[in-house]
Amino acid sequence: MSSSPGKTEQAQETKEGTAKTRRSNQPHIAIVGAGITGATLSIALARRGIPHAVYEQSPRPAELGAGLGFGPNAARAMRIIDHALWETFMRVSTPRDARAPRKGASISKRGEGIVSIDSERDGEGEPVWIEFLDGTADVEGHKLEPVFRVPARYGDGHGAVHRARWLEVLMGMMPEGVVQFGKRLAGIEQLEDKVLLKFEDGTTAEAGAVVGCDGVKSKVREIMVGGQDKEGAKCGYSGKYAYRCMIPMQKAVEEIGSERAGVSSLWMGYGRHVLTFPVGAPGPDQLLNLVAFVTDLNQSWTSQDTRSFTFPATREDALCDFTQGGFGGTWGLFDLADSPLPSFYSGRILVIGDAAHASTPHHGSGAGFCMEDVAVLASLLEDQYGEAGLSSAAEGLEDVFSAYDASRRERDQWLVLSSRRAADLYEWRLPNTGKEHFENMRQDIERRQAICWGADLDEMVVKARANLRSRTERATKG
């Protein structure tokens, strides 16, 4: 589907109806996981008339009640996925601090949004991604001034949503009856022309291929690599944990003032940092998302039961961590940095999103990269399912997965590693960081965020489609 915003809804609906008629007998895609990524993929496939089913292990839709940040790359991906999805996001998300440009500023644009406003380096006058503060300064929180700002550049779409509420929105956009809840995956068998999914309740399902969107603790990933003891089957502990909570905005304003509560802020410090950002439209229901990160020097989490990524903690635990140090976190940060997958697919099994590249959250881009994944995969599947005279849909789907892997894996795995580095930078654990190096830190952060936000999704899709055509042509000649 073209990402052009000028295409009319009527034309899109006509294309969708034709596609549904043509593809009704083709093998469907089995999506495992109905979280943010799985639900978004379902919306994308439905928009393109691609038959699919979604299997979710939980008995009902479930997401943590925390804030979720997106950048302009995610917004561009949403426009490719489904223009209605993009419109909904732009309507319900909390935008970044929208400060007016300075009088006489020279504005430079690229695509849909501002790249830079002028040559000044502190970000004043631009929308702000995050204001960075010295959390070790002996100043009351509401009086503390930022040591530098990172502007929200590279287009529209910088914003945040309430994770659980956003999932409700996505569920409302999915086809009725497409999700089966209470389906905990037990195994996958790849047969000659199909795959067989086996669930713990004793039932089975057939599909042309499986896409694992089942998150950090992905069962599909474990099966794909050959078992739970294989490299890449399990995420590893990143060495950090966090406390998090949602605070009523009125209470936050009382504590730190309206100006500080109204803009995304990051308090830096030795081995610890705190992130806050507003979630929801201004009003009585608006919240401030707070996440307090701690470097676990004793690697205490590895001695716990890592089947669970969260443990109970008290207010006293958190205060102890941010005054004296020590273990007591509630949310262990796990990723695939130490055991990256050599391939995102095997045969007709593919993993995307956190199932493929689980990352720590320090770029605020994990969910955005999941949206990129969906945009590329849906575009490739649209091309493959749209090919007339496709002799073997199952073989064609493997070509799709190969082209997808070539398009996405390097970029996705860069995020995993760069996110770890970003956290160490915020906590002054790297050379040339800390009180004497704020300018170096700002430049490093801006450079990395530019990689996150500045991706040309249209060009990425074009290249992935060309790769798929090349693979299909080689298979046909062979």
Q: What is the CATH number of the domain that holds 407?
A: 3.50.50.60
> Can you tell me whether residue 441 is helix, strand or coil?
helix
Question: Concatenated DSSP letters for 352-404?
Answer: -THHHH---STTS-HHHHHHHHHHHHHHHHHHHHH-TT-S-HHHHHHHHHHHH
Query: Helix, strand, coil % (nearest 5) of the chain?
Result: 40, 20, 40
d(CA 427, CA 41): 36
32 in Cβ contact with 211 (< 8 Å): yes
Question: Per the domain annotation, does 236 fall within a domain?
Answer: yes
Q: Check residue 97 and report its DSSP letter.
A: B
Question: Per the domain annotation, does 442 fall within a domain?
Answer: yes
Question: Per the domain annotation, does 66 fall within a domain?
Answer: yes
d(CA 316, CA 296): 17
d(CA 85, CA 143): 39
Instruction: Please work out, in degrees rounded to the nearest 5, the angle formed at the alpha carbon of residue 387 by the alpha carbons of 386 and 388.
Output: 110
Map tokens 């008339």 to a residue: 49
Question: Per the domain annotation, does 4 fall within a domain?
Answer: no
C-beta neighbour count of 336 within 10 angstroms: 25
Question: Per the domain annotation, does 373 fall within a domain?
Answer: yes
C-beta neighbour count of 128 within 10 angstroms: 21
Whole domain around residue 224: which residue ranges? 9-477
Sorted by sequence, the CB contacts under 8 Å of residue 457 that are 6+ apart come out as 3, 73, 76, 77, 80, 372, 375
Q: What is the pLDDT of residues 146-167, one digit of tens each?
A: 999 999 999 989 999 999 999 9
Alpha-carbon distances, residue 330 vs 180, 218, 301, 447 (angstroms)? 30, 21, 10, 31
Question: Per the domain annotation, does 184 fall within a domain?
Answer: yes
Question: Per the domain annotation, does 3 fall within a domain?
Answer: no
pLDDT of residue 66: 80
Q: What is the pLDDT of residues 69-101, one digit of tens each?
A: 999 999 999 999 999 999 999 999 988 765 544
β-strand partners of 185: 199
pTM exceeds cut of 0.75: yes
Assigned token pair, 306: 């890592």
Question: Per the domain annotation, does 2 fall within a domain?
Answer: no
d(CA 346, CA 129): 38
Assigned token pair, 72: 């302009």
pLDDT of residue 478: 62
Question: Concatenated DSSP letters for 63-91?
Answer: --S-EEEE-HHHHHHHHHH-HHHHHHHHH
Number of domains the chain contains: 1
The CB-side HSE value for 4 (13 A sphere, CA atoms) comes to 6
Assigned token pair, 268: 């830096």
Q: Which residues carry out catalysis?
A: 244
Alpha-carbon distances, residue 10 vs 17, 88, 215, 286, 386 (angstroms)? 11, 18, 35, 36, 19
Per-residue pLDDT of the chain (478 residues; tens, 9 = 90+): 344 444 334 434 434 444 443 445 567 999 999 999 999 999 999 999 999 999 999 998 876 668 899 999 999 999 999 999 999 999 999 887 655 443 333 434 334 333 333 334 444 567 899 999 999 998 876 788 999 999 999 998 999 999 999 999 999 999 999 999 999 999 999 998 899 999 999 999 999 999 999 999 999 999 999 999 999 999 999 999 999 899 999 999 999 999 899 999 999 999 999 999 999 888 888 999 999 999 988 766 554 444 444 444 455 554 554 444 333 346 899 999 999 999 999 999 999 999 999 999 999 999 999 999 999 999 999 999 886 444 455 678 999 999 999 999 999 999 999 999 999 999 999 999 999 999 999 999 999 999 999 999 999 999 999 999 999 888 777 6
